[in-house]
Amino acid sequence: MITPIDSVYYSISSTKKFRTFAPKMEQYFIIDFDSTFTQVEALDELARISLKNHPNREDIYKQIEDLTNASMEGRLSFTQSLENRVKLLEANRDHLKQLITHLKKKVSTSFSRNIIFFKNHQDEVLIVSGGFKEFITPVVTEYHIKKENIYANTFVFDEDGKIIGYDRENPLSQEGGKVKLLKELQLPGDIYGIGDGYSDFQLKESGMIKKFFAFTENIERKSVAEKADHITPSFDEFLYLNKLPRAISYPKNRIKCLIVGDVDDDALAQMKKEGYNLRHRESIEEKYLEEAGVLFCDEANQPTPDQVQNAGRLKVIGIFGKCNRKLADAATESGIIIFDDPKHNPHNNDFIPRRVMAFMNEGKTHTSCNFPDLQPPRVSNAHRLIHIHKNIPGILAKINEVFARHNINIVGEFLVTNALIGYVITDVNTGYDPQVLNELKAIEHTIKFRLLY
């Protein structure tokens, strides 16, 4: 258990600084805000709000975006970029209120689903940004991040509430500001940095942090990514690599989704947004099918029963059309669920991806053409285990025997069957020996076993 920090007081808008630390901590997580914690660059979005009635708004938007990118890619000093962007804003406090409402809807997907991590690591997570506290604090504090752990710039306003500048004494308004800040903080223990820009990489370059993770869920800056210790397409990936608690057991970016045939672009956009690794092929090729966790195909390009039986990683098939019966039987025997769309309504292109994601995220089998129907409620603070087995009496008793032997409390349990398989979802309390999972996999007549979250 990481020893929590009692308090950190740091006034970066003043030359006077105060710090009080508890006993040495093991690790800290330094997280950027723009294009990392949120999907967007906040100053760019503020400009779109404040300048929406300006006759030259499109030209100014472009100038601000170019200044942002030049700074993030290391082609322009952060100080020059920030100064020029703030001059172009023409924003006030009312515009900031609109921006905050907008940003709360733009938190990066993988951050929003891991709110429990932030709740459990409040003392170790620091937001360090070249953005501004006025819009950062209202957004990140909803994720249990402490105000005293938010380090960012501050605006200067005139008497009418218009932004006329920013605090230039703040180290984060200066070139290399994040490095200057961390030198002042002198955090004990290992420090891990997560961000998308050059200023985040500078922390690694200066030796201030142990590892730098280039966050690419929203934007990938090649000049930054190529220098990173790791490229992390999602926050799930960062937590997975560092063996930290997370909302899903296995990052979506590590799951290959094979697309074959005529599959609607809107459906694929949903899977890409969810974080899946998409791979397109003109026809079913066994070497690609064997690597896939998800298959999307049209009615004319369904895999053969033999191909499905050899696809050991495949968990779900989404067919944009009607599934053939032989494929359904073979997939069922292999523990692979199928969602099809016999009517294939072109105005309902989210039907298959919604069903696939509900299965992958929560284990729901509703509307499947080959699995028994189950729609379990999501349970908080528990692990969800999926056990698929041949429909033979006594399997549920053997599953529960494993839990009983290890004194594991069952929060909820659901069993449904059809002629071929039994499908069990068990929600259990956290904190058990990983050996339990191996014992569940080893139960006779098990077809597939999966730790969902």
pLDDT digits (tens, 9 = 90+) for 358-406: 999 999 999 999 999 999 998 877 889 999 999 999 999 999 999 999 9
Q: Please enumerate in sequence order all residues whose Cβ is within 8 A of that of 276, keeping only pairs 6 or more positions apart, or say none.
A: 252, 253, 255, 256, 257, 294
Per-residue model confidence (pLDDT) at position 248: 83
Where does residue 79 rank: exposed (0-12), middle (13-18), buried (19+ CB within 10 A)? Answer: middle
Tokens for 320? Answer: 């944009």
How big is the CA angle at 345 (ends 339 and 348), to the nearest 5 degrees?
A: 75
Tokens for 34? Answer: 């723009």
Average pLDDT value for residue range 115-132: 95
Per-residue model confidence (pLDDT) at position 247: 82
Average pLDDT value for residue range 77-97: 90
Whether residue 149 has pLDDT greater than 90 = yes
Instruction: List phi, psi (to 5°) of 260.
Output: -135, 130
CA distance 176 to 70: 15
pLDDT band at 9 (very low <50, low <70, confident <90, very high): very low
- Summarize pLDDT for 235-287 with one digit per residue, the tens: 999 999 999 988 888 898 999 999 999 998 999 999 988 889 999 999 999 99
Q: In this predicted structure, which of 88-92, 311-315, 345-349 has the lowest mean pLDDT?
A: 345-349
Whole-model pTM: value is 0.76
Average pLDDT value for residue range 75-92: 88
Tokens for 378? Answer: 């999501």
Whether residue 6 has pLDDT greater than 60 = no
CA distance 125 to 8: 12
Tokens for 169? Answer: 């004494």
